[in-house]
Structure 1
């Protein structure tokens, strides 16, 4: 079983003005790879809060996989990739590239996504869009490789 955390970056969500449908999609989809959501947090689109919670999810809770939703666009308050970059040790560009490549076949607007993926210690952090449709399409693009990536991060798996 993989311990999964969901971090939603949304001003309206943090104020209770919007139901977080994207997190529900994540919750459902990670079950297919043996993932169990053990931590869920909604924060406003604030760089310091996002980076603080990402650090806590990895360093204090030791989660295997953290999936963020929201804050990956071009809006002035979309800072999730920058906050993520500030806490990761290494980027994993292929994941974000694959998500954009697959979703661009459905909409050219996908090229505007600034999603990022990277590792911190033995944890994998992936930024997803804020819409349920975008979350589903992006996760579908990479979900099959996530167990292998998580095994490698734990020091196992065949990565030759």
Structure 2
């Protein structure tokens, strides 16, 4: 969001109102950038913590059980343990992903709150154009890979 806004502001067409950012706009955007960065770091720490949980002692023991099962021991019990472990990991990862989405939404709302109505529309149009171009670029890359 911040890079797109800055790019539109510095490289945009002179008729675009985003080029007309005042110092007050820039101060508010910078304050928002710092606040959002702190939220991003909090989510990153939680994700790192969850990655450590995935490789903790209990999960390592579960892997050992799976190896034993391959050698002919009790299959149903291990399947149940694996399902419980994976369900817990997936629930926590879903929670982290929801936190990421909340940070993205707060970022968008924060940026849009700083803008005038005309700037708001131009910014959203810029996001739309960027998404279309990225999709087209992605399709080209997929075609050349196949």
Higher RCO (CA-CA < 8 Å; seq separation 6+): 2
Bigger-Rg structure (1/2): 2
Common topology (TM > 0.5): no
Q: Which has the higher helix share?
A: 2
